[in-house]
Every structure is written in C-alpha cells, then in structure tokens.
Amino acid sequence: MEYTQLGRTGLKVARLVLGTMNFGPQTGEADSHAIMDAALDAGINLFDTANVYGWGADKGRTETIIGNWFAKGGGRREKTVLATKVYGDMTLDDRPVWPNHDKLSAVNIRRAVEASLKRLQTDHIDLYQFHHVDRNTPFEEIWQAMDVLVQQGKVLYVGSSNFAGYKIAQANEIAARRGSYGLVSEQCLYNLAERRAEMEVVPAAREYGLGVIPWSPLHGGLLGGVLKKQAESGRRAGGRAAETLADPAGRARIQAYEDLLDKHGLAPGEVALAWLLTRPGVTGPIVGPRTGEQLESALRAVELELSEELLASLDEIFPGPGPSPEAFAW
C-alpha cells in the first residue's frame, strides 16, 4: 500500500479510503467486520463513515458496526484513522426533526459527537467532517465548538464534505483569524464522468492545504463496466448510472470508455480509481465495497500505472473543464 500526507497535516493515510456506507444496509455485521479486517491487512488505514449511515430507522447502525469491530481489540482502533461526519438529523424518517437536532450549531455538534463516540466505542475521532454546508450557522460558532472538542481530545482534525470552493476559503479564513487549524480535507463528488470539482473545489483545497477525498469514484457504478455487466446479466443500472445511460451521448461515452479499456485488457473500475490517483491534490478515493471481492478489485488499482497515451484517451472521452481560473474565462 502507498501512503501520503493528509493535506498539510503530518497524518499519513493510505491512497485508498475505506467507505463504510454499505455496512448495515447492504452488508451484514459479520461480513462488514471481515471487510474491515481485510482492509487493515492490505494497509488501508483511513476508514470513513457518518452518523446517519444505516439510514431510515437504522441511522447510526454503521457506526455501531464499526464500534463493535473496534471492541474486538487486536490493535484495530490504534491502526485506524477514524473519520465520521456531523450534520444530518438522527430522528426516524417518519418523525419531524426537533429543533437543534441537526446541522452545525454548537448545540448539535456537542450532542452529535458524544453520540458518535458512544456508538463507535472510542474516546476520540481522528477526522470529524462537516457533512454539508450549514447556511444558518456562522463559522465563528462552528469553530468555537470544534476548538473545544480539539482541546478536550475528542477530535483531532476537522474536514468538510460537499463544500463549494468559496466555502472552503471562508471556513479557513475565519479559522485563521481565530487561531484555529481549520479544515484539513474536503470530501467531494469527483470522478472521470464528473469533473466539475476541478473548477473551484480542488484548486481551493490545494491552495488551503486540504487533502481531496473523492466520493463515488465509479459514479454509481457507471465507470465499473456497467454496459458489459448489463449485457451479461440483464440487470438494469440505477441512480447516476441510469441517468447517464438514458442520454444517447452519455451512453456513447461510456461505450467508448469500455471499448478503450477492453482494447488495453484493463478493468474499468480499477482504471477509474487509478485515474483519480493521478489527479493533483487527491489524497485517495473512497471505495465502498459490499464484498471482499470488490475490495480486492479496488486494491489492484493502487498498483495500476496508466500510460500517458491512455490518460490522453480518457481525457478525450471525459474532457475536464480545463485549468482554473482560465476555464471560467475562455
């Protein structure tokens, strides 16, 4: 496994991040524990989750599964860089959200971190991430709450998720004025088929020393050989993949992508991950395996070297916006 620094920090993390969103909803606890063991054995040390994972009536279930895994001992917690998130409400879907039980007020941050620590069966969170922007809470209040948690030793680093570039700048400028360390990472939607992050988010992250952690690196399965899988199994795509394939031009791009990689004898999903590892500013993409076999496939991407010719061909199929700020002007 290869390692890199998380943004401007001294923290070393693997070039692949284990995403746990499927643990609970799609993968049972025993299989989830087996996947986490295999990830550690392979050298993956950054595990990403969120307080709302489990969804619906099972919100918090994923953190509980991870906490039960930590409780097995064997150095599991000590080897893991634990990342979770705060923002979403933890009430059941059929109940209204009680005031101050979601988003980023100081009240909810304090409540949410204590609940996550209990579910995770740990005394600290290595990377505590804002799951979304809270337009109603000033960053001065947010940083005051986070500084208290850092001083208490309950949180070590703070990151963001789904932040626009100007929000990254705003958050870190206010943190600097307060003498706070600020954001050290941004988790954003970024992959071959969705490159808008290159316009502002990635440049802002690099300017302020944030590591970029792309989520949905296969764009909902679209970049994982979806057309070949459909032809072999007859199973229809859903979500982002279905939306793209419904558009003739989008479907043609995916066909060209799969044809290109078939010519090179490469697996589409592994190439999509390997491409992200070539992008400036990227710490490592989040992989969310439902099975051990999917984890093994993701691990192969770290060893995959893409030629300049192949990278150029991928750019032709999925052109990015171009360098920033030039992409805004011409």
Rounded Cα–Cα distance for residues 273 and 304 (Å): 9
Rounded Cα–Cα distance for residues 273 and 263 (Å): 18
CB-count exposure of residue 45 (10 Å: 0-12, 13-18, 19+): buried
Q: 258 CB contacts (<8 Å, ≥6 apart)?
A: 225, 227, 228, 268
Pairing of strands 183-189, 211-215: parallel
**Which tokens belong to 267?**
């697996």
Rounded Cα–Cα distance for residues 260 and 100 (Å): 51
**In degrees, to the nearest 5, what angle opens at C-alpha 292 toward C-alphas 291 and 294?**
70
Cis peptide before 96 (omega within 30 of 0): no
Q: Respond yes or no: is residue 53 known to be catalytic.
A: yes
**Which tokens belong to 146?**
């986070």
Q: 144 CB contacts (<8 Å, ≥6 apart)?
A: 106, 178
Give me the catalytic one of 3, 53, 157, 257. 53
Q: 161 CB contacts (<8 Å, ≥6 apart)?
A: 85, 129, 130, 131, 132, 186, 187, 188, 215
- Biggest CA–CA distance in the chain, Å, is 57
Distance of CA 101 to the CA centre of its chain: 24
Distance of CA 123 to the CA centre of its chain: 23
Rounded Cα–Cα distance for residues 201 and 169 (Å): 10
* Active-site residue set: 53
